[in-house]
Structure 1
Amino acid sequence: MIAARDETLSAPIEPLARRIEALAAFPSGVMEPLRETLAGLGLRARSAPPRTGLAGAEGPAGAPLLVGAGWGARQRILADGRRQILGFVLPGDVIGVDPHRAPLRYAAAVSLTAMVVADAEPLRTMGLALPSRDAPLARALRALAAAEEALLSHQVTRLGRQTAYERVGPLFLELRERLCLAGVEKGDSFTLPVTQEILADTLGLSIVHTNRTIQQLRRDGLVRITGTQVTLVEPKSLAGLTDYVPLATMLGRS
């Protein structure tokens, strides 16, 4: 479980609020009161260093978490040490907050970089206590759960049917979209603070195959990489070539 340092400050809720605003498509005037509600929950932030366990891999989920900053992942480690990363955990994400079912841990959650996380149990408790499914917070939590399901659908398709080219390109598109939805990045560039080994374990490819595919994307003029900075030079062309469906489109928000 998480070995993090407690901080005496409120969790940053802006990435979560921005994701909700983009995914739930509320009418004008709803988001500001909802932001105040989220801020009023008094979620307490903790710092977690890289390679820290955030949640175990099996059984009922423990305290839900809100990610305020940094990158993590959900992963399964096989008996022989092989790792499959099921998805990245990014700012604005919540783990185990769905109020309409008892979440199960299907994978361990770990930090990949230094992170800021918060115990989101007050968020889940408030969601359970809401008298109406139409309440803004209830709708927001449903939108977050739907987004998580859509991301899992992306990953299943990626690993089950797509070529290496079709895996790498959409992963970059997905990461850019998620970071922009949370207000962490803008435009067609984003910071990728993880190694090619981590990318390979996410994509179900070898490190060599991952590297070759990234280089092919660069030669095709679709991606530019400088250090940890990834720029999608032709994002629309990349999406068309690799069958990428934006998260917002999957949720009917565009």
Structure 2
Amino acid sequence: MKVLVAIKRVIDPYVKVRVKSDGSGVETNNVKMAMNPFCEIAVEESVRLKESGVADEVIVVSIGESSCQEQLRSALALGADRAIHIDVEHVPEPLAVAKLLKAVMEQEQAKLVLLGKQSIDTDNNQVAQMLAALTQRPQGTFASEIRVEGDTVFVTREIDGGLETLKLDLPAIVSTDLRLNVPRYASLPNIMKAKKKTLLVVTPDHFGVKLENRQQVLEVMPPPERKAGEMVANVNELVDKLKNEAKVI
């Protein structure tokens, strides 16, 4: 069974994000970049499936500029077998990403597609659902546990009332949540081996997919600064401020 994993290059989650002075986006020059944390979880789960004998091959794919090959190599060092880089000037919108992943999925005949539930830069949480709609395949979102038995995958996900387990027929699309696993660190020998693994570079034209922009970013702005807290002398003063100033009681 082939497992296809989509990954995205984002600003390192531990770096302070700065908005550009013209409000057109966030500053990425000379900023540390990393693999999207949810994508790391998807890669880890695919490698575990391979180690358990469920998967025969793990393929990672990323869409973006040539710089995203760094994250593809990281995924190869974590245990993926080969990588596909779809070279575009700018990261396309979710629908275009889903169309490209659909083409890769069909070309590779992947039985299971794993994606992070969302990327930490745009937080759209759309690609997995769009991919399932385009391919007419079953989907399991926000997976906290994945179990494959034959041609069926069981996906446990958290809902408001507790846990829900879905039974999906393969091929299927699954998006991963933080509680699914803890990603491993790549060892030095595996980092060296990753340099020799196959990394195929193609363009959207290879799949016959035309990229179209349907969204326009009007302005990006930082969140308003939080006001400092206020100390109160006793409970009566606290209740008075909550009632008369904050008007929450």
Q: TM-score, normalised by structure 1?
A: 0.25
Q: Which has the higher strand share?
A: 2
Q: Quick check: which has more Rg, 1 or 2?
A: 2
TM-score (norm 2): 0.26
Structure with the higher fraction of residues in helix conformation? 1
